[in-house]
Structure 1
C-alpha cells in the first residue's frame, strides 16, 4: 500500500496549497460545453493531426468533452461503452487495467503482449502497444476522440479498426488546480487532484497530479458474503511545459500507474465440461446474469499487481513555412497475476510479465501552397516482453512457461488535403510499414518429460503500404458530404501462448481491411442542431483467429493462432447534438453493424479419451463475430438551471447494446456429432457456445450537480450520481477453456447499480 500513501500525501499537499493561499487563486472558467443561449459551441478536434472542427473533418469521429465525463461520473475508458456508435469497450478480467475494444465489428480480445491491439489507444500522441494499461483515469483529461475505421496514415502504428485518442490537460502557466473526493457503492472511494504552478513566468510551467481509486468489489462469496474483486488504483506524475519563445515548446510528462487488485472471476461452467464433476455445485449450470456475481472462495491466495512508469516528451518548433514535431516516449510495465480461473484451484496460474516499449515520431506539417496542407513523418516503435508462468492442473506439479518476445516497427507516412476547386477537397496519403518480430519459448512439464522443450528464437518480418483516398464537397457552410477508401493493416506475429514446438514457432500473417465510407455532416437552425451520418463497408481479410484446443499428451489447453477467415462488415451510423431550448442540450447516436464470416474452416482435434483424439474439420462461417452487437444506441440530456449563487445541472443518459458474442468457440452440443462424423465431413457450426453471449444491455445513468462559486475565488461542484440505475446485470467478458471437450468456463461481470457522491473544487 506504499503507493496509496504517496498518492494521499500528494493530494493533501496540493489541496493544502489551494486553500492556504486563496489570495493567489484566480477565478477560472473552463470552456463551457454549451453556451447558455444561442447555438451549440464548436468542438475542435485533432483527428487528422490538425486542429479543425468536428463538422469540418471528413472522417467518422466522436468527440467526448470533459464535462460529459464529469456529468456521468466516468472513471475509466470503459465508461465510454456505447457512447459512440458501433463502439464497444469492456474490461478484461485476466489482465491488469486491460481493455477489450471493438469498433465497427473488428476486435481482438486478448491480453497477451505478443498480439497487437486491433484498436489503437493513443495517450498524448503515444500509441499503447498492449491492451493492459489502457484503463486510464479520466479526471485529468483535456479531450477524447474516437475515430472509427482504419487509421493508416496517422497516429503512430497502423490501426485496423480505429483509434481512441486521449489528451491529458496541459500545464496552464497560472497558479490553479482542481480537486475531487468521491464515495459510492461497494466502498468505492476516490481522491484526485491537479495543481498548476508557474515556475518561471511565461517560460516554464508545471502541473502535478495524483489520483486514487479503491473499491471492495461487487462479487460476493457464497456462504460468507465476503466482497471480492476489489481494487486499489493509483496514477500520479508531473508535466513541465517549457516555452522559451513563441516558436518552440517542449512538454515533458512523467507518470506512473499502479494497481493492486483481486483477480476474481465469475463461474460459467456447464454440465458436460471436463472439470464440471470436480467443481462445487454453485459453479455449474448457473445463469449468465446474477450467478456470475456469486463466487466460491479459491483454495489458493490470488494476487494481482501492476506497475507502469512512463515518460513522454513532445517538442514543437514553428518555422513559419513548416511546423516540426517530435514525440518521444518510453513506458514499461510489470504485472503479476496469481489467479484461479473460477475452478477452486483445479487450474491455477502464477503469471509474471515485464514489458517495455519505446517510440519515436517525427512530423512535419504545413502548406505547400494555398489550398494544400500536409502532415508527413517517420515513426519507430520497439518493444520487448517476457513472461514467466507456472500453471497447476488438478493440484499437480506446476508446468513452467518462459517466453520472450521482441517487436520492431519502422514507418514513413504522409497525409494531405488539397482544395482542387471551390468547395471540393481531395484528401489522402499513405504509410509504408516494416515490422519485425521474434519469439522464443521454453516449456517444462514435470509430469510429462516428452512435452518439455526449449525452442529456437524464431524471427519473421512483414512490410505493407496502406493508402487512403477521400473527397469532400461543401455546397454551403452548413453541409458537407464526403467519401473515402482506406486500407488498414495489423502486423503478423508469433503465438505467445504456444506450448508446443509447433504452436510457438509457427508465425501468423498480417490481416488487412479495405474500408469504404460515405458520410454527411450538417448543421441546422443557427447551430442548434448538428446531424452526422455515415455508411461503411469493410472487406476484412486474413483474420487472425485464436482457437483454444485440447492436445493429447499435453496437460494444458493449447492456443493456436492462424489467419483463419475473411469477413464482410457493413453498417450505418448517426449521431446528433441539439439545443432545442436555452440551457438544454441533447446528444444521441445510433449504430448498426451487419457482419458475416466467409471461408472460416479450421481443423480441430476432438478428444475420444484422456490421451486420444481424432481430427475433424469445422466451418465457423455462420457464427457471430465477437464484440459486434448489431445495434448500439445512446441518448443523453443535460439541463442547467440557475439556482441561488450557482447552477443546478440535471443529467440523464441511456445506452443500449444488443446482444453479442465474446469468443469464437463451437457449441458443445456438436461434440457427439464430431465424434460420429466421417473424417472427410465438414461440420457446420451454427453458433458459438451459448454461454459466451452477452444479453442485450439497457444502461441508464443519472446525476444532479450543483456548481457554485464563493467570494474566496473557489468554485465548487457537488454531484450525486447513479450508474446503471436499472441494475442491468450480466457478463462483461466470458471465456471457455478449450473445445471438444470444454474444460470449464469463466466470466467477468459488468458493474451493477452504483450510487455515489462527489465533491469537487477548482481555482
Structure 2
C-alpha cells in the first residue's frame, strides 16, 4: 500500500438496578461533611477527567464502566509496560504473547483472542493518542511519558469501532507544552535490567510552536536459564525514540505531528511442558519431559539460538480546529513494522520456526462535535483503516525442512458513526448512537493455492444508554450495546481447504446496569456495574493435527456462542489527607453453548478419521472468575521532601489459556471409535491452566527539590511480585489426538529495583 494511495483515500473520507438507599446515603454524607464535591479538599476523585466518549467529561458523570489509572500509580512501583496493568482494572488480563514481537494477549470480561498472527484481529482495542493499533504485535507498550490511561469495559463499537467487542484501553501521551521543561529517569533492577528514559520540551515560538523529544531505553538479561550452561536466557534490548511537534497558530487551531521509531532485539525461549504420551516426549533430553508448572518453567533445554528483532516506525498528525459551532478533529496515522523471530517451542531444537514478516497500517479519522441545541451534544465522524502484511515462515522438524507458510494479506475498513447526549429532563439523560462498518479482506497463499481468496462483511453496531442523577452524589445508568469483530481467513492454514475457507464475524449484545456514587464530600467514590453478554459466533483459534509436513495447522472456527455475566466494583477513598486507597473487584461467569468442531483423530496405526467433538463443557480462555486489586499510598512530609509508601496486591483466579482438549481422554476416544454423535470433551488440557496468582508490589519513594527554580528529584526503591509467585504467563498445546508437544513461558519472578528521576 503506497502512502500516495492512502492519501487519496484519506482525502475522500476527509450491579442490578439500585434502590434509593444507595443514593440517599452519599447525598447525606456530603451534606454532613459540609462541602460540595468540587471544594472538599486535596483530592476529589469526581474531578478525574476522561475522554471515553470522545469528550472531556468527569469520570463520575460518564455512564460507562471505566477504570482511570493515574500515571503516578505506575511510576512508584517501577512499572515498565502495559503488562503491569494486569489485574488493576476489574476483569482484565494482560499477558505477553511469546511468539511475537512486543505482542500482548488482552482479555476484558472474559472475551479475548490470543494469537500473534496479523490475519487475526484483537478483541480489545488499544488506542494510543487516538490511533488504533491493528495487531497484537506492538501492543506491549512502554510506560513513561503517559498523561492518562482509561480501561473501558464492554463493547465500544460506536465510537471506537470494530474489534472492540471486549473493551478499549485508551492511552494518551503527554502533549508538547511549548515551554521549556522535561524529566529523566534511570532504573536498575534484578536480572540485569537497566532503563533510561527522557522527555524534554523545547519552545520554538512562544505559545505557537514547540517540540517534545523523547527517548526510552530498556535492556535485560532475562530470567530463564539454560539447563546445560546455567547462562541466563531471554535477553532484550529496546529503543523507542521520536519527536512530537506542536503548532498552535491561533487559539482555535492546534496541530501535533508525532514521529517515532522503535527498535528491539530479543531472545525468545520457551520451556518444555510436554508429558509422556506427547509425540515429541520420546525424543526430548532427559528431564525435559514431565516437569512441573512452576520452577521448571524457568529452565530451558536449549537446542538452537533464538534471536529476534522488531523494528517499527510511525507518523501521526492530530489536528483540532474549533470552528465555532463545530469542533473538527482529524487523526491521520501511518505505521510500518518489520520483524523476524526464530524460536524453538520447548523442544530442544526438534521443532523450530523461522518467521520473518512485514506489516503496515494507515488510518484516517474525521470527527465533528458540537451542540445541536441546548441540552443536546453530539460526536459524529468517518473512519478509514487499511493494512497489509506478509508472513514467510519456514519450519524445521528434527533438523530437516518441513515446509512453511507464505501468506499475503490485505484488509480495508470503512465506517461512519454518530453518538449523542440528550438531557431529556434535569436529572435524566438519554445517550446513544450507532456505527456502520464495512470490512474487506483478501489473502494469497502462494504455497497452497493459486487463487486469491477474499470476502466482505458489514455490520451496524448501536448503543443506547439512559442515566439518572437523583442527587449530586449518585448516577444510575443502564446500557444496551452491540459489538462486532470482523471475519477473516486463517493466516497459518496448511491445507487448501483451510486456506480458502473464511471464518465469519462474531458479535456481542451486552446489557449493563451500574451506579457511580460519591461519598464523604467527594473523598470517596464507589462505582459498581453488573453485565450480561450474549456472545455469538465466537472466533476460536485451534491447533489441529493435519496431513502436512509440520503435522499440524492453526485454524479459526466459529464456536456457536457463550453467555457471560458478572459484576465489577471500583473504589477510591482518601480517608485523611495524603492517604489514598483504591480497590477493584471483578467477577465473571462464562460458559460456552453448542461449541462443536471437527477434530482429526489419529490412531496408533497412523490411520485418521474426523470426529465431531463437543467443547461446550470446557472453560473459555482468559476468563478468571475473580480479579481483585488493592492499592494504597501514604505521603509523609519530611522537611522539604515528601516520602511516599506504596503497596499493591492483585489476585487473579485460575484461568485457561487455550482451547486444548485434555490428552487423558485420548484412550477413551480411541476405544469409542468413530461416532456420528458428537463426543463430549469435559475439560481443557490441565497444562494450559494458569494457577491462581497472588501478586504483591511494594515501594518507597522520596521527592525533594533540587533548586529554587522548580527542579525536583525522586528516588524510588521497589519490589515487584514480593511473594515470588511463579507459574505460567503463557501456555500452549500443539495439536491434539495425539498431542505433538507442549510449551510454556514463565511469568516474571520477584524483582528488586531502584530508580532516580529528575523533573524540571
Whether these two folds match at TM > 0.5 is: yes
Corresponding residue for residue 16 of structure 1: none
Alignment equivalent of 1:429, drawn from 433, 442, 456:
433
Task: Give the aligned partner of residue 688 of structure 1.
Answer: 684
Residue in 2 aligned with 1:494? 489
Name the residue aligned to 1:212: 217
SS at structure 2 position matched to 1:91: strand
Tell me the alpha carbon deviations over residues 510-554 of structure 1, each in whole angstroms, 9 at most, x when there is no partner.
000000000000001111110000000000000011121112354
Aligned to 1:83: 88
1:556-613 CA distances to partner (integer Å, 9 max, x unpaired)? 3111211122000000000100011111010001000000000001111111147520
CA positional deviation for 1:645: 1.5
User: 1:732 is matched with which residue?
Assistant: 729
Aligned to 1:697: 693
Deviation at 1:254, TM superposition (A): 0.4
CA separation in 2, counterparts of 1:160 and 1:41?
A: 27
Give the Cα–Cα distance (whole angstroms) in 1 for the partners of residues 588 and 133 of structure 2. Answer: 27
Q: Deviations over 1:167-225 (max 9, x none)?
A: 11000111000000010000110000000000111111110000000000000111321
Residues 1:378 and 2:382 aligned together: yes
Matching residue within 324, 342, 348 for 2:328:
324
Of residues 277, 286, 297, the one that matches 1:281 is 286
Alpha-carbon distance in structure 2 between the residues aligned to 1:538 and 1:553: 39
1:674-685 matches, cutoff 5 A = 674-677=669-672, 678-685=674-681
TM-score (norm 1): 0.93
Shift of 1:442: 2.4
Deviation digits for residues 79-105 of structure 1, max 9, x if unmatched? 000000000000010000000000000
Indicate if the aligned counterparts of 1:455 and 1:501 stay in contact, CA closer than 8 A.
no
Change (3 A) 1:222 1:53: same
Match in the other structure for 1:722: 719
In the alignment, which of 557, 566, 583 is matched to residue 578 of structure 2?
583
Residue 358 (str. 1) matches residue 362 (str. 2): yes
Bigger shift: 413-422 or 677-686? 677-686
Query: Structure 1 unaligned runs (5+)?
Result: 1-33, 444-452
Q: Give the match for residue 652 of structure 1.
A: 647
Equivalent position of 2:178 in the other structure: 173
Matched, 1:247 2:252: yes
Quote the offset at 1:344 in angstroms. 1.1
SS at match of 1:729: coil
Distance in 2 of aligned mates of 1:455 and 1:733: 36
3-state DSSP of counterpart to 1:502? helix
1:109 and 2:105 equivalent?
A: no
Q: Secondary structure at the match of 2:155?
A: coil
Deviations 1:58-111 (A, max 9, x none): 000000111011112111100000000000000010000000000000000000
Partner of 2:464: 469
Map of 1:198 onto structure 2: 203
- The whole-number CA distance in structure 1 between the counterparts of 2:251 and 2:161 is 27
Matched, 1:625 2:629: no
Q: Partners of 2:442 and 2:663 in 1: how far apart?
A: 36
Cα shift readout 1:463-493 (whole Å, capped 9, x = no counterpart): 1000000100001111000000000000000
Q: Distance in 2 between matches of 1:407 and 1:39?
A: 45
8 A contact 2:514–2:528 mirrored in 1: yes
CA contact (8 A) 1:92 1:748 kept: no
* Cα drift, residue 711 of structure 1: 2.1
1:399 to 396, 403, 411: 403
What is the match of residue 130 of structure 2? 125
- How far apart, CA to CA, are the structure 1 residues paired with 2:228 and 2:455? 52
What is the DSSP-based 3-state SS (H/G/I as helix, E as strand, rest coil) of the residue aligned with 1:581?
coil
Cα displacement (A) at 1:41:
6.2
Displacement of 1:670 after TM fit?
1.3
Task: Check the 8 A contact 1:552/1:613 in 2, yes or no.
Answer: no
CA distance in 1 between counterparts of 2:605 and 2:139 reads 40
Equivalent-residue separation in structure 1 for 2:147 and 2:306 (angstroms): 36
Instruction: Note if 1:345 corresponds to 2:342.
Output: no
Could you report, residue by residue, the CA deviation over 1:598-638 in whole angstroms, capped at 9, with x for unpaired residues?
A: 00011111111475202212110011000000000001010
Aligned to 1:448: none
Q: Residues of 1 paired with 2:546 and 2:125: CA distance?
A: 34
- Map Cα deviations across residues 695-744 of structure 1 (whole Å, 9 max, x no partner): 00000001000000022532000000000000000000100100001100
Aligned to 2:27: none
> What is the CA–CA distance in structure 2 between the aligned matches of 1:230 and 1:612, rounded to whole Å?
43
* SS of residue matched to 2:98: coil
Matched, 1:667 2:662: yes
> Using the alignment, how far apart are the partners of 2:680 and 2:472 within structure 1?
53
SS in 1 for 2:156: coil
Show the counterpart of 2:545.
Answer: 550
State the Cα distance separating 1:454 from its structure 2 match: 3.5
Give yes or no for the alignment of 1:94 onto 2:99.
Answer: yes
Paired with 2:46 and 2:197, the residues of 1 have a C-alpha distance of: 28
Q: How does the TM-score come out when normalised to structure 2? A: 0.93
Q: Distance in 2 between matches of 1:141 and 1:397?
A: 46
Matching residue of 2:30: none
Q: Which residue of 1 aligns with 2:31?
A: none
- Partners of 1:338 and 1:348 within 8 A in 2: yes
8 A Cα contact 1:407 1:438, kept in partner: yes
Distance, in Å, in 1 between the alignment partners of 2:41 and 2:757 is: 22
Matched, 1:711 2:690: no
Q: Distance in 1 between matches of 2:547 and 2:708?
A: 74
Matches within 5 A, 1:251-330: 251-298=256-303, 300-330=304-334
Deviation track 1:373-400 (CA, whole Å, cap 9, x = no partner) reads 0000000000000011110111122413
Count the aligned residue pairs: 720
Q: Find out whether 1:537 has 2:532 as its counterpart.
A: yes
Question: Partners in 1 of 2:675 and 2:141 — Cα distance?
Answer: 49
Contact 2:622 2:655 in 1 (8 A): yes
Runs of 4+ in 1 over 6 A off after TM superposition: none
